[in-house]
Structure 1
């Protein structure tokens, strides 16, 4: 069972960054079935270094998260399971529940954990610790290292723009320092930022998590690579020398973009906001731009020297594949193509009319040979 930090350290100097991906637990049985198929396709297509699965707010998906992480592990993924401080069950001892979940994970071949405080449970505006439970992610990291030694690889969250709870409204924007301006965002005509004093507290806390036994950092979503670059430099200043993995939110739809950036108080550069607003009524244009913007971000991050590009897939494939192809990564196979998609073949570009269970497809072309069948490795999707 591989620890992710060991896999990252094995990266050859000068090689492209590794790729990793994240999923979330679906709400329905059909959704889970579709996710498992997608997980298989993405393993075959891009062979990620590791694959995350999130833990629902308030511990709401604990059991399903464990099931999905086990499925990842048994199908060849290196599973990196999120775990929060939230109680796993109503009543009882919350720490015992966490220990039980860790024991289950270990038994099922899952030995990489993302240690998080977690979001508030549904219906709660503020996060509250369970009676007798952990109060923060640092508690969870310390508990894991004290009770399991080095059995688990541990990653923790980092916030280049400051944790959402540490971001506050700025009454007088002219009072902001240059660093505060760089981290600032605007929502509903109001300016928000993580003040320098609060940012220092965030970095001090992050250092404690690493010192307590965490191996590397996965960041909150961001859209300004300059802010990420500053965060990496700040980590060095604080004596945090572990890998910093950028968390990349794939832009798939305008509504989702607005919802997530508002929820996380994410900085949206003016040019990006203007572009998204200009195409918000054209879903295809948004998807195409999401790929284009993602490629540019990844190129910038590669220049910074990141070891891994971590994609928040939103349980979708197209944008992630499009970005990777645009970066020159090999996307193997074409089982992820759908009926109606344009695909490239030895006969030219055609449209998929039907797909068999083995991935072979009937593809329609213009010209003298209107339809032909190709094996799944003989065609690739056109973005």
Structure 2
């Protein structure tokens, strides 16, 4: 019985020792180490980018002519439909020709009489039946009569008012029965050539100076023949299907706006473009080789408005960069200072990190699957630039 009692007395002591040992082990267990945050990055690669600028402008007719009478008279008939296309040389109005017909007939009769007299004196002067002075006067009268006929013929021709150019004619500004005069200030109608058509856009003179400096410094390469090509957009944002070509730029700067005017010419076979329309023209400035494009989602601005980006350096630590950006190209910023090829810009997880913190960088293309299961590209090819 005594051994059994001794064993029973030993059980509580052993339990106490076990509890003490377990408590000691719990106190020695260390807290789990904090995990390194994971961020998604885009590794920057240099690429060739065609720089373009979009400028506002208005359409203007390629040619414009105000139709005015060149003789006096009463309008007998209008011979065109208002707002339609007319051809060069097409008759638009008929002025009463009766007076001019009579003048022409009278001049023609006088011419014939003068011609016969000059011929007769020409035969007689050889026989000295008339003097050389009389013959000369007869010859001069004939020439004057010829000039009078020519003038009468021209006036009679001008009673038919013709279109000077091919284009679209405006509404009629005079009606049948109206008296018109040569040299009057009021036009009978206006004809505008719409195919092709001009588009005049304005560009700040500072932009032209910047482009010249960049080209001279080798920062930009000339776009060559493509530099003259222009793409047009309507006011609602839709594109005009026909490409245009840059014609010239003004040699002077507008004192009021500090801008210069660029003129482009566009084919307009369907007359979709009408004079006075507000449009936007996209022009190619040049090609920037080895351009650095940073994703917009990885670029923020501080309280001063300076563009910044968080970059993972070689030590796998977050580093803050201040950037100089010039324009957007698609979903990217064109960066001229602050980033270089090979830099890893953080695009996801920015809210969980700060400069100096170690992170685990994963390429965004490897973690952002595109629809259908394919990996999305890390950086899309640069589309046309917008100003």
- Note whether the superposition's TM-score is higher than 0.5: no
Task: Tell me the TM-score normalized by structure 2.
Answer: 0.18
Bigger share in helix: 1
Task: Tell me the TM-score normalized by structure 1.
Answer: 0.18
* Higher RCO (Cα < 8 Å, 6 or more apart): 2
Bigger share in strand: 2
